[in-house]
């Protein structure tokens, strides 16, 4: 395929992905907006007042970046895992497998779809947050970079999950048993500096901590983690997962008998 | 892409598809293809026949990059699948046996997206999709979600999808399964036109009448092996006898015999006659007149290809047992 044809193929996969989650926006866009509003009302407004300040900020301001990030992570992941898994189960992934579209474009197309949903939901949650508080973004470029890279990373992870998944159960295992706990423990609601030293050190093994804090640094200008550590971790994980995904795709694991 | 690939064809006239010693053993140990050879020339209308489980879909899957072959070579218009996979993919259009589109997508989206995967601009793909859907009598459904289509419409949707990039080789895996007779006939006309316009077509079907009507060459697969590969006309001309069935006006009790052909009762109202294919039907009617037998209607017992097919497969099984 020529570069132009490759670009057309990428757009085709991407548009299909965006149309897919847009068609079912009641399942994909609305629920996070509602859940996050509840978080803002309960944790931010009601309980937050009792908590007082954290990291020098009102509690609601402190948790806003974490909650946005949480919705970006889960939505990026679940978009790709459910879309690619059902393409596999219903056989329509064959439309791509028989075509000359290169594997890397298939992957990038699905990942871009996941990023679109992650950022879309992130934007909706941000708008909801603006009803409760004001946001003064300190480092806009860093904010944007962290959120895009995080979304990219979890979209790629969702893709790998879909390749291995053999049932709809297997699609939910990772989000429920790994992603959600890691996110809750990833400094969304508290600063790890509040933890006893041992648990603080353990927390440093949680990659999501780096992303949440990187994003918080972008918005509020405070973080438990240095921006360098955040970016290093993001690039290393993206490099790793992306290579794994390409390898699995080229071997046709779970796709070709 | 299909257009510029014309000048990339290496030999002047390499076969549309050349398969050498193709083997496939599935992970569970099932040997689906046991070293098959097939050559399908450009412009052919080729029937790939075989009982359920013979290995037809597996062979097609290997050609279309949906099944990893265990060994062997596959060349499409002279290009080796192992070395020029993308080129090979761009030559082929596939209508799979199972419905494999996203049933929640609208018909037009499914086809236009498929065009995108072959590098065709959306606008152009839309234009082609419209023409194809109109031709296949499906345009009034183009905005419908695919799940709202009937079975026969879904088959036609898959045909349109397979043709969006103007493939030089169209492979149809049971395209007429579950399609009513009227639509089936119109599909035949459509495919014949396509073939006359230069597209090489490979077709699997369990309706042997269909293969007999449309196909120039034929292969029969049985248990992962090619047990017959020949020209349809020649093959049919080798069939020695023909069986005819006659419905009688009145039931008969005793059966007169003839020296010119074999005759037997199916039941008291129906006679079956096995006739050498060179002998004249007039003998049969003379015979009926002599014995004052009144005939209401007559038909072929089975279509001739079907006859051959059954014979050839049972022969193959006998050979297997005796080895
Ligand atoms: N994914 C698979 N894993 C294991 N065995 C398989 C798989 N797919 C097919 N087979 C086996 O391979 C053999 C050939 O199957 P194939 O689908 O190629 O037959 P076919 O000729 O297309 O039959 P049909 O006319 O029923 O479509 C069968 O015995 C089948 O059970
Ligand atoms: Mg089959």
Closest ligand 1 atom, residue B61 Cα: 18
Tokens for A95, please give them.
């439309």
Residue B276 or A29, more confident: A29
Kindly state the percentage of chain B with pLDDT values over 70.
Answer: 93
| Residue B1 confidence (pLDDT) | 44
Return the residue of A nearest to B101 by Cα: A92
B75-117 per-position pLDDT tens digit: 999 999 999 999 999 999 999 999 999 999 999 999 999 999 9
Count of all residues that appear for chain A in the document: 257
Spatial contact of A28 and A79, defined as CB atoms under 8 Å apart: yes
Which residue's CA is the nearest one to ligand 1's atom 6?
B26
Which residue's CA is the nearest one to ligand 1's atom 12?
B32
> Is the CB of B66 less than 8 angstroms away from the CB of A12?
no
Please indicate, yes or no, whether residues B181 and B288 belong to a single structural domain of this protein.
no
Return the residue of B nearest to A106 by Cα: B117
User: Is the pLDDT reported for residue B203 higher than 90?
Assistant: yes
Spatial contact of B87 and B40, defined as CB atoms under 8 Å apart: no
Bridge partners of B271, per DSSP, are B246, B265
Residue A169 or B23, more confident: B23
User: What letter does residue B293 receive in the DSSP assignment?
Assistant: P
Strand order of the sheet with strand B295-300?
B262-267, B270-276, B241-248, B295-300
Please indicate, yes or no, whether residues B219 and B284 belong to a single structural domain of this protein.
no
Kindly state the percentage of chain B with pLDDT values over 90.
Answer: 60
Buried/exposed code over A36-65 (b: 16+ C-beta within 10 A; e: otherwise): bbebbeebbeeebeebeebbebbbbbbbbb
The answer to the question of residue B27 being in a domain is yes
Non-local (6+) Cβ contacts of B83 within 8 A are: none
Which residue's CA is the nearest one to ligand 1's atom 18?
B55
Chain-centre distance for alpha carbon B177: 11
The answer to the question of residue B247 being in a domain is yes
Which residue's CA is the nearest one to ligand 1's atom 4?
B26
CA gap B105, B116 in Å, rounded: 15
> Is the CB of B119 less than 8 angstroms away from the CB of A100?
yes
> Is the CB of A92 less than 8 angstroms away from the CB of B100?
yes
| Residue B177 confidence (pLDDT) | 86
| Residue A122 confidence (pLDDT) | 95
Please indicate, yes or no, whether residues B71 and B33 belong to a single structural domain of this protein.
yes
Q: How confident is the model at residue B195 (pLDDT cuts 50, 70, 90)?
A: very high
The answer to the question of residue B115 being in a domain is no
Return the residue of B nearest to A6 by Cα: B119
The answer to the question of residue B134 being in a domain is no
User: Is the pLDDT reported for residue B5 higher than 70?
Assistant: no
Mean pLDDT of the B314-319 span: 76
Q: Residue A58: which H helix or E strand, with range?
A: strand A57-58
| Residue A152 confidence (pLDDT) | 98
| Residue B2 confidence (pLDDT) | 45
> Is the CB of B100 less than 8 angstroms away from the CB of A98?
no
Which residues in chain A (83-102) have CB-CB distances under 8 A to chain B?
86-87, 90-92, 94-102
Indicate the domain borders of chain A. Answer: 3-251
CA gap B190, B181 in Å, rounded: 14
- Residues near ligand 1 (Cβ within 6 A): A 257; B 26, 28, 30, 32, 50, 52-58, 97
> Is the CB of B117 less than 8 angstroms away from the CB of A9?
yes
Q: How confident is the model at residue A4 (pLDDT cuts 50, 70, 90)?
A: very high
How many Cβ atoms sit within 10 Å of the Cβ of residue B99?
17
Of the candidates B67, B98, B119, the beta carbon closest to that of A257 is on B67
Spatial contact of B200 and B16, defined as CB atoms under 8 Å apart: yes
A81-120 per-position pLDDT tens digit: 999 999 999 999 999 999 999 999 999 999 999 999 999 9
Please indicate, yes or no, whether residues B281 and B176 belong to a single structural domain of this protein.
no
Mean pLDDT of the A23-50 span: 87
Q: Which ligand is nearest to the CA of B61?
A: 1
Please indicate, yes or no, whether residues B22 and B71 belong to a single structural domain of this protein.
yes
Count of all residues that appear for chain B in the document: 323
| Residue B308 confidence (pLDDT) | 76
Of the candidates B26, B89, B105, the beta carbon closest to that of A100 is on B89
**Low-confidence winner among A23-27, A91-95, A110-114, B159-163 (lowest mean pLDDT):** A23-27
**A250 in contact with B at a CB cutoff of 8 Å?**
no
The answer to the question of residue B161 being in a domain is no
Which residues in chain A (100-159) have CB-CB distances under 8 A to chain B?
100-102
Average pLDDT, chain B: 89
Do the bridges between strand B225-231 and strand B217-222 make them parallel or antiparallel, or are there none, so unpaired? Answer: antiparallel
A129-185 per-position pLDDT tens digit: 998 888 889 999 999 999 999 999 999 999 999 999 988 888 888 888 889 899 889
Strand order of the sheet with strand B45-50?
B92-95, B169-173, B200-204, B45-50, B217-222, B225-231
B22: domain CATH number? 3.40.50.300
Please indicate, yes or no, whether residues B181 and B70 belong to a single structural domain of this protein.
yes
User: What letter does residue B270 receive in the DSSP assignment?
Assistant: E
Q: How confident is the model at residue A47 (pLDDT cuts 50, 70, 90)?
A: confident
CA gap B38, B18 in Å, rounded: 6
Calculate how close chain B gets to A37, using CA atoms only, in Å. Answer: 30
Please indicate, yes or no, whether residues B26 and B170 belong to a single structural domain of this protein.
yes
> Is the CB of A100 less than 8 angstroms away from the CB of B100?
no
List the Cα angle A210/A177/A171 in 5-degree steps: 105
> Is the CB of A102 less than 8 angstroms away from the CB of B86?
yes
The answer to the question of residue B111 being in a domain is no
Please indicate, yes or no, whether residues B69 and B10 belong to a single structural domain of this protein.
yes
Mean pLDDT of the B280-290 span: 88
Please indicate, yes or no, whether residues B180 and B313 belong to a single structural domain of this protein.
no
Q: Distance, CA A118 to ligand 1 centroid (Å)?
A: 40
Tell me which of B19, B34, B55, B64 to substitute to probe ligand 1's pocket, judged by most ligand atoms within 8 Å of the beta carbon: B55
- Give the closest residue to A114 by CA, choosing from A65, A149, A142, A146: A149
Tokens for B220, please give them.
């029969």
The answer to the question of residue B178 being in a domain is yes
- Number of structural domains in chain B: 2
Please indicate, yes or no, whether residues B177 and B300 belong to a single structural domain of this protein.
no
Calculate how close chain A gets to B192, using CA atoms only, in Å. Answer: 24
Spatial contact of A223 and A142, defined as CB atoms under 8 Å apart: no
Burial of B155 (0-12, 13-18, 19+ CB in 10 A): buried
B242-259 per-position pLDDT tens digit: 788 899 988 888 888 888
- Give the closest residue to A4 by CA, choosing from B82, B35, B1, B276: B1
Average pLDDT, chain A: 92
CA gap B255, B312 in Å, rounded: 31
> Quick check: helix, strand or coil at residue A196?
coil
Show which of B177, B212, B236 is a domain's final residue. Answer: B236
CA gap B131, B210 in Å, rounded: 26
The answer to the question of residue B141 being in a domain is no
CA gap A200, A224 in Å, rounded: 10
| Residue A33 confidence (pLDDT) | 86
Please indicate, yes or no, whether residues B220 and B261 belong to a single structural domain of this protein.
no
- Give the closest residue to B221 by CA, choosing from B52, B93, B25, B24: B52
| Residue B3 confidence (pLDDT) | 45
| Residue B171 confidence (pLDDT) | 98
Non-local (6+) Cβ contacts of A168 within 8 A are: A85
CA gap B283, B80 in Å, rounded: 56
The pTM of the full predicted model, rounded to 2 decimals, is 0.87
List the Cα angle B233/B234/B240 in 5-degree steps: 105
Which residue's CA is the nearest one to ligand 1's atom 16?
B55
- Which chain B residues are closer than 8 Å to A19 by Cβ? 105, 109
| Residue B11 confidence (pLDDT) | 59
- Which chain B residues are closer than 8 Å to A101 by Cβ? 117-118
Tokens for B109, please give them.
């989206």
| Residue B105 confidence (pLDDT) | 94
Mean pLDDT of the B142-149 span: 96
Please indicate, yes or no, whether residues B230 and B248 belong to a single structural domain of this protein.
no
What backbone phi and psi angles, to 5 degrees, belong to B106?
A: -70, 150
CA gap B58, B297 in Å, rounded: 43
Q: Residue B98 belongs to what domain range?
A: 2-103+166-185+194-236
Show which of B176, B207, B236 is a domain's final residue. Answer: B236
Instruction: Using alpha carbons, list the distances in angstroms from residue B266 to B248, B252, B273.
Output: 11, 11, 10
Mean pLDDT of the B49-59 span: 94
Closest ligand 1 atom, residue B58 Cα: 18
| Residue A1 confidence (pLDDT) | 87
Per DSSP, the residues of B6-55 read: GGG-SSSS--SEEEEEEEEE-TTS-EEEEEEEEEE-TT-EEEEEE-TTSS
The 3-class SS string of B162-224 reads: HHCCCCCEEEEECCCCCCCHHHHHHHHHHHHHHHHCCCEEEEECCCHHHHHHHCCEEEEEECC
Q: How confident is the model at residue B309 (pLDDT cuts 50, 70, 90)?
A: confident
Which residue's CA is the nearest one to ligand 1's atom 28?
B53
- Which chain A residues are closer than 8 Å to B118 by Cβ? 5, 9, 99-101
> Is the CB of A92 less than 8 angstroms away from the CB of B102?
yes
> Is the CB of A9 less than 8 angstroms away from the CB of B119?
yes
CA gap B316, B322 in Å, rounded: 10
User: Is the pLDDT reported for residue B267 higher than 90?
Assistant: no
> Is the CB of B119 less than 8 angstroms away from the CB of A1?
yes
Of the candidates B26, B89, B101, the beta carbon closest to that of A92 is on B101
Closest ligand 1 atom, residue B60 Cα: 18
CA gap A100, A109 in Å, rounded: 14
């Amino acid at each position: 395929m020529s570069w132009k044809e490759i670009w057309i193929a990428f757009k085709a996969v991407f548009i299909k992905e965006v149309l897919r989650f847009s068609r079912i926006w009641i399942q994909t866009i609305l629920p996070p907006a509602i859940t996050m509003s509840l978080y803002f009302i309960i944790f931010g407004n009601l309980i937050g007042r009792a908590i007082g300040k954290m990291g020098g900020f009102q509690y609601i301001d402190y948790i806003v970046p974490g909650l946005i990030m949480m919705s970006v992570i889960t939505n990026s992941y679940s978009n790709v895992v459910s879309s690619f898994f059902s393409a596999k189960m219903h056989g329509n992934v064959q439309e791509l497998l028989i075509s000359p579209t290169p594997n890397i474009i298939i992957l990038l197309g699905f990942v871009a779809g996941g990023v679109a949903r992650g950022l879309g939901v992130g934007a909706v949650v941000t708008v909801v947050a603006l009803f409760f508080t004001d946001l003064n973004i300190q480092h806009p470029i860093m904010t944007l970079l962290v959120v895009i890279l995080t979304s990219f990373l979890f979209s790629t992870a969702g893709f790998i999950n879909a390749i291995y998944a053999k049932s709809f159960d297997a699609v939910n295992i990772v989000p429920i048993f790994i992603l959600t706990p890691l996110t809750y423990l990833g400094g969304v609601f508290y600063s790890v500096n509040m933890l006893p030293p041992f648990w603080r050190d353990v927390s440093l093994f949680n990659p999501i901590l780096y992303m949440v804090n990187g994003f918080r640094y972008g918005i509020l200008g405070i973080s438990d983690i240095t921006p360098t550590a955040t970016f290093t971790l993001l690039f290393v994980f993206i490099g790793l997962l992306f290579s794994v995904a390409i390898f699995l795709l080229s071997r046709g694991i779970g796709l070709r008998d | 892409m299909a257009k510029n690939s014309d000048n990339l064809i290496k030999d002047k006239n390499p076969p549309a598809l050349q398969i050498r010693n193709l083997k496939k053993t599935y992970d569970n140990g099932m040997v689906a293809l046991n070293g098959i050879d097939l050559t399908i020339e450009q412009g052919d209308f080729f029937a790939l026949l075989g009982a359920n489980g013979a290995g037809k879909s597996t062979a097609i899957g290997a050609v279309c990059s949906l099944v990893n072959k265990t060994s062997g070579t596959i060349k499409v218009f002279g290009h080796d699948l192992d070395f020029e996979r993308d080129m090979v993919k761009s030559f082929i259009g596939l209508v799979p046996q199972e419905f494999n589109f996203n049933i929640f997508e609208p018909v037009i989206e499914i086809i236009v997206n498929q065009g995108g995967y072959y590098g065709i601009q959306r606008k152009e793909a839309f234009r082609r999709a419209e023409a194809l859907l109109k031709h296949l009598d499906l345009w009034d459904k183009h905005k419908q979600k695919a799940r709202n289509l009937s079975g026969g419409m879904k088959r036609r949707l898959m045909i349109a999808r397979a043709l969006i990039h103007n493939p030089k080789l169209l492979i149809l895996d049971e395209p007429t399964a579950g399609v009513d007779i009227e639509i089936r006939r119109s599909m035949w006309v459509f495919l014949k036109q396509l073939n006359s316009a230069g597209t090489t077509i490979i077709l699997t079907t369990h309706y042997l009448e269909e293969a007999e009507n449309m196909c120039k060459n034929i292969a029969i697969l049985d248990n992962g092996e090619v047990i017959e590969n020949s020209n349809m006309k020649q093959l049919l001309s080798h069939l020695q006898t023909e069986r005819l069935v006659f419905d009688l006006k009145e039931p008969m009790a005793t059966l007169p015999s003839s020296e010119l052909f074999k005759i037997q009762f199916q039941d008291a109202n129906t006679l079956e006659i096995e006739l050498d294919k060179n002998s004249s039907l007039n003998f049969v009617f003379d015979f009926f007149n002599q014995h004052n037998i009144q005939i209401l209607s007559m038909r072929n017992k089975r279509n001739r290809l079907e006859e051959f097919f059954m014979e050839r497969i049972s022969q193959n099984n006998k050979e297997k047992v005796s080895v």
